A and B are shown apart, each in its own frame.
Chain A
Amino acid sequence: MSLVRRRKATDKASSSDSQVPDKDSPKEQEYDTADVDVQKKAQISKSKAKWSCVDSCCWFIGCICVTWWLLLFLYNAMPASLPQYVTEAITGPLPDPPGVKLRKEGLRAKHPVVFVPGIVTGGLELWEGHQCADGLFRKRLWGGTFGEVYKRPLCWVEHMSLDNETGLDPPGVRVRPVSGLVAADYFAPGYFVWAVLIANLARIGYEEKTMYMAAYDWRLSFQNTEVRDQTLSRIKSTVELMVATNGGKKAVIIPHSMGVLYFLHFMKWVEAPAPMGGGGGPNWCSKHIKAVMNIGGPFLGVPKAIAGLFSAEAKDIAVARAIAPGFLDNDIFRVQTLQHVMRMSRTWDSTMSMIPRGGDTIWGGLDWSPEEGCVSGRKKHRNNDPQTANGGESESLVSQVKKVNYGRIVSFGKDVAEAPSSEIQRIDFRDAVKGNNLANTSCRDVWTEYHDIGVGGIKAVAEYKVYTSGSLLDLLYFVAPKMMARGGAHFSYGIADDLEDPKYKHYKYWSNPLETKLPNAPEMEIFSLYGVGIPTERAYVYKLSPSAECYIPFQIDTSANAEDSCLQDGVYNVDGDETVPVLSAGFMCARGWRGKTRFNPSGIRTYVREYDHSPPANLLEGRGTLSGAHVDIMGNFALIEDIMRVAAGATGEDLGGDQVYSKIFQWAEKIKLKL
């Protein structure tokens, strides 16, 4: 305030100064200054009146502080059950959580349960770092509040990245998974992953000794978790211990998302002989595992992984870009967000485990795909009652079938995506000269392999126009040879012709259900539990980025929209749980492993259980108890109930066998796979 006052006064003074030469009289000048004095006094008295402005400002701040403090006090003094009362008052009584309900039915803890978290949801903490990460020892870098991302983003990216070539720790950095149930109960404060399931299991008597979170470093390739951390050995010994200390009751395994593939890998690993495997002997699984209850399992990969690897974006990012075009691509502030994200995530081998497997046979070729025909305009009425939601509802599917070429996972331009295959002119990119390195030094700190590709190479990629799941692999090998070379040593994406071929004893095939046999465990059960009823990314329309030096040269063409079609913002959607298409989550249990097939020689029984998505009715419900979304499904009461029943001893038949809302069986029929 005083500052303002002074400036005004000097303004006056200077203006009076400027008048001085005109008057040219000291007396008048004196008078002038006197006048100024008077003005000053007037100003002061005026500002005294204004002074209350500051005053009220202070008052305002004070009031806010006091109110805040009071509210905080009240919040702390409030009985813990109050929010629940409020919710119940508004939405009516909540249904009993499954734990309470089943406890009343007399269910008790029986089989030990093992959780296998998926990608991204597990916490990672720092054990050794560079100077910039001082004071973060054993603090979470991933999960929790992510405070460090904002405080020191570059340092964070540096620590979260793995080594480019080995896919293991970079020198001087050790980031390790958080262990125990806390690893993935909440991803961030208030954002549950496993917490609801854990709480419900605890109601029927589960506790630390009968529950185990098989936390692993989800950035590594599966075999590397054993090489670096001996994670697989530890899971093996923990399962053995839990079975032994619970009176020989076999374990129920509950993998989620990528954990499904991880556990597939584990089952092969544990029975393989010692140097490469765990040496558990050929009957380990049948001795120790009662059931594997896969939640939202991307058995055959997810198309999202392609977009992630190709241009570090997915639907959400593409949409954000469409809204605020300048923001993400901004390199004025040297932000280069996407490039950093890409550089980091490309060092994570595990992202490559999610690339669609099975090629054109599974995902469709240029002209056909199993899901052919897009179901749009799906009408749903919300159903808050779990009972009726469980009972097969046959409404919905008001479909306007329109042929969509889902097989073309990446197409350059909307017209290309829709044109008949005969009309597309394609120029093979595989032999294209990559051209000169167009990266200039300013982009150097962001390492993506795009800098090694010249203009020619990028053009060649765009001119091939359409990529199906099979040619996509070639594309990835073309644009990111180093990454794929690293990943290719750990993962495989094909279909086995002859499963007896000794080459399939190598660990890189273990996580691909199409290249491994299930263990010999006829009493075991495999469940596929996943949500349906949410549009899920399946294919993309791409375009070349407006040329700028440091950019990722491709991006999703968000302007590509089509009415009455599943094309939205450059993304073709199908039914799924928002991340995993139904085809990937359900096919193996619906057909690939059904009965005695060559992938399932001992005839392990499989069950498909789908959960139809209904969004929460209001904000108070949080993420809903009927959700089918990829992560939110972990709070789905029906799913929790199924899991608890199995954990308490039920079999798949007791649950009611298959429960299907989607067309998974029809689609599975269309896939011509030798079984």
Chain B
Amino acid sequence: MSLAIKDDEVDIVIGALRSDLTTFMNEWRPMFSRFHVIIVKDPDLKEELKIPEGFNLDVYGKPDIDQVVGSSTSILFSGYSCRYFGYLVSRKKYIISVDDDCLPARDPKGFLVDAVAQHISNLTNPATPFFFNTLYDPYAEGADFVRGYPFSLRGGVKCALSCGLWLNLADHDAPTQALKARQRNSRYVDAVMTVPARSLIPISGINIAFEREAVGPALVPALRLAGEGKCRWETMEDIWSGLCVKIVCDHLGLGVKTGLPYIWRTDRGDPIASLKKEWEGVKLMEEVIPFFQSVRLPREA
């Protein structure tokens, strides 16, 4: 039932906001080494990147960005948005992207989670957005569709995007993390599920994978907060592009999955300092969500 993805159809895209990627790349080596890796250096980062040997990779920096999009547009790709440049120049069918402060997680049995393999599995198995399966992913081993699930919907649709989760530092906004300073996510929820059609979801860019050919054009860092900074709490670009992708997927009959894989997000930054910068994003969401809830795309699209 699932498609087979060949290794050379995948690009792993990493936005480098820190210069020393040694630990990051070494920790991910077992999962990344089979694939081509694109590293995009944040144009605002002054130091040289330190990357260990042994990877099949291409590195892009400010000069490349300026050359491809022109220096007036290149502002779009600074900070966390630098990885979108990687999506732009990639020639592969699938992209997997994680933030550079994330490491492989361990499952409750203590085994390292191969997030890359799980994302690939999510993308190759169908999604089921038109009816909710109470046992979650029906294509997972040991699971299936439950009684009452219409047979005509059991073939599913193509999964265009897979949104993973985070152990340790979860992706909360600055006010929430500031309020619950010591809260860390330790709950490993062993499920992948399809986000139902017409349901909106905040798609975090920290740990995602998608079919570039299906939804790539919708993943553009269009929403840039005026005070966007170098901390995840200071960004909304991924939330914005994620909402666009979900609307497009709903319209085109494609699926979006959420759940596994988990990655381990290391502690970084001060949420209270970020509060000032993110507040604008929080206010914007209130305007933006009703728009997305009511937008309708014409049939010809």
A and B: partners?
no
Q: Give the A-binding residues of B (Cβ under 8 A).
A: none
